[in-house]
A and B are shown apart, each in its own frame.
Chain A
Amino acid sequence: MRLATENLTWGVDGRAIVRDVTVEIGAGETVGLIGPNGCGKSSLLRCIAGLRAPSSGVVRHDGEDISGWDARRVAQRLAFVEQAAESDSDLRVGDVVSLGRTPFRDRWRGLSAADHAIVDAALEHVDLTGLRDRHWNTLSGGERQRAHIGRALAQRPWAILLDEPTNHLDIRHQLDLMELLASSDQTVLVALHDLAMAARYCDRLVLLSDGAVVADGTPEEVLTGERLREVYEVDACVGRDVLGHLSISYRVEAR
């Protein structure tokens, strides 16, 4: 599924958080959304996911303007994983993943056999099969995050949007998650803080600063020392690590 925005602007109380953003994400692409804290990554994701109506501009899913679409229509093709969505409810892991079937259920009936098969597969895919009967409040942060990913997978989306999904994950699960996102043929748009991780797994990076796109291209094109200095205000040195992956080192002046 192709995702696109045209001159998208969104703000609250007259203050623009996302400014005039035009991006296009091709079907099956894995695109990383990077930028400093407060640059509008989460807001842009929410606009593209149809959770916020743009103040001006257009969001397109497969070329169609989504304004006026109901939530269910969007949810049948696109999944969104919030940053650390919490609950004090006593749901079990299996129930949380089953929530992914919500856009496809009708009011009168429970989960169908097909729904159960999908939920089982999603649990298996995020390595939570053994924990399916565990209660939410007994899970670690990483297990919760994986349950949310599993929930998104159970939605069987054509596109999946994630906001800082690697937070709370140890390095093993970070790598597994990024591997999963990069290898799937779904369209993936993922907001990330870890620039090296973004560079390694994303086909393309979109760099936001103060709500606007300042760079859009391959990791090598986007992550240059000069640009990182401008946007993040750090003295960064971009090179290769021993395995040949793009790596970024930071010089800190002693104060």
Chain B
Amino acid sequence: MPGSASRTGGLPPVLHPAAAVDQPRTAPSGSARRAGGGWFALGAVVLPVSLAVAMVIGSGDIGFAELGRVWGGHLGLDVEPLPRLLDSLVWDLRVPRVLMAAVVGAALGVCGAVLQAVTRNALADPYLLGVAHGASTGAVLVVVLGVGGGALSVSGGALVGALGSFALLLALLGKRGLGSVRVVLTGIVIGLLFEAVTYLILMASSDADTTRAVLSWLLGSMASARWDSVAVTAIVCGVGLVVLWLHSTALDGFAFGADTAASLGIDVRRTRALLLVTTALLVSVVVASVGAIAFVGLIVPHTVRFLLGPLHRILLPASALAGAVFLVWVDALARVAFAPREVPVGVFTALVGVPIFLLVLRRRGEL
């Protein structure tokens, strides 16, 4: 494998451990990856446009001009305000809802990408750790059995349930390591357990209306998003996504398994634990805010990986952008498709996402 020159003299100087590297690069590398910049520029334009369009469409006859007046009015600019009812419809309901969709989409896209790398399992999605089922159990306990005596909201109950199920998962995983298969199987088992508990409570003690309400919450909906819940979710997700992004290099290193990762200087145990806890917290907050929205965390990272490659330094922010845009549009569709009736957004993520996903698989030659 060495060229004829190196066969006698060993390594070229630049590969010697003690050598300083001062020579300029001989060949440009990764030209294919440079395309990433273009995609980011595109995403940075598409996201604000998507947000604006999604805030305009829906019930109430407003255009971009009226949207501008709403924003201007609330930012203290001197503009003619809209009628109060319309203003409230847009500012108190629709704007937070669209922003929530963006935040949630970004978080789910990134968490999916991270869990796929940590577990080395292409099927991993953000709900792999069982937190969604834990959240539903918590929500049902509050709604149906009135646990918490009114002090806990549905979201609060869901958050407690999600964190509780994750605590149980960590306790079961214990100190014996966080091997991929162990994490996946334990997560699935925990999910099944809490799913069973949820249905048991529903069947045993509730009436049809409550069941319906809980089920539609389980399928996910942005309808309950308000400014305060958006702010909390955005802060948690913002911090969490930066933490995850800072582990991009480690996530790349996991590609060849734990031993190779460790030989590259990655503290595998600590990094895995930190990534699992961070994703679980993010997903818990997301599920508590808007329910369990399926498919986003599976489809978005795979599609982005197909377009931009598997390096996490690029994959994670791109998945955040793509997830945000995707969920903003799907939520808008869910609002207007059968207006005034609203379809759970989880239904549309699958209906819209699956064809996109099949297209990607086909282009990759895996279908």
Chain A contacts to B: CB under 8 angstroms: 46, 49-51, 70-80, 82, 85-92, 94-96, 99-100, 102-103, 105, 107-108, 110, 113-114, 116-122, 124-127, 129, 132-133, 146, 149, 153-158, 173, 176-177, 179-180, 183-186
Contact = CB atoms under 8 A, between A and B. Distances in A.
Nearest to B8: A183
Given A80-B259, A90-B310, A117-B23, A179 B2 contact: yes
Contact of B10 (A70, A75, A185): A185
Nearest to A158: B17
Contact of A116 (B1, B9, B25, B305): B25
Contacts of B3: 124-125, 127
A86 B2 contact: no
A183 B246 contact: no
Contact of A120 (B26, B247, B260, B311): B26
Contact of A118 (B21, B120, B250, B310): B21
Given A156-B16, A179-B2, A71 B268 contact: yes
Interface stretch (B27-35, B60-68, B188-196): B27-35
Q: Is the interface of B mostly helix, strand, loop or mixed?
A: loop
Nearest to A176: B1
Nearest to A106: B249
A21 B1 CA distance: 33
Contact of A177 (B1, B19, B249, B262): B1
A120 B16 contact: no
Contacts of B7: 176, 179, 183
7 contacts: A80-B259, A82-B256, A102-B249, A102-B266, A122-B15, A179-B7, A186-B11
B267 interface: yes
Contacts of A91: 252, 255, 309-311
Interface string B169-189: 000000000000000000000
Interface in B230-286: 246-247, 249-250, 252-253, 255-257, 259-260, 262-268
Given A102-B253, A149-B1, A184 B10 contact: yes
Contacts of A155: 264
B259 A51 contact: yes
Interface of B: 1-3, 6-12, 14-17, 19, 21, 23-27, 29-32, 120, 122, 246-247, 249-250, 252-253, 255-257, 259-260, 262-268, 305, 309-311, 313
B262 A99 contact: no
Contacts of A154: 15
Contact of B12 (A82, A125, A133): A125
A75 B263 CA distance: 6
Contacts of B15: 118, 121-122, 125, 153-154, 156
Contacts of B11: 125, 153, 184-186
A150 B137 CA distance: 50
A95 B252 contact: yes
Given A99-B256, A110-B313, A125-B2, 12 more contacts: A51-B262, A71-B262, A71-B265, A71-B267, A72-B265, A85-B257, A87-B255, A88-B120, A91-B252, A118-B14, A120-B27, A180-B6
A183 B1 CA distance: 13
Contact of B309 (A92, A96, A110, A149): A92
B267 A70 contact: yes
A92 B11 CA distance: 24
Contact of B17 (A73, A108, A157): A157
Contacts of A180: 1-2, 6, 10
Contacts of B246: 107-108
When A and B form their complex, which 4 residue pairs have the shortest distance between CB atoms, in order from nearest?
A75-B265, A103-B265, A72-B265, A80-B263
Contacts of A77: 17
Nearest to B247: A107
A91 B313 CA distance: 13
A96 to B, nearest CB: 8
B21 A114 contact: yes
B259 A105 contact: no
B1 A146 contact: yes
Contacts of B29: 94, 116, 119-120, 132
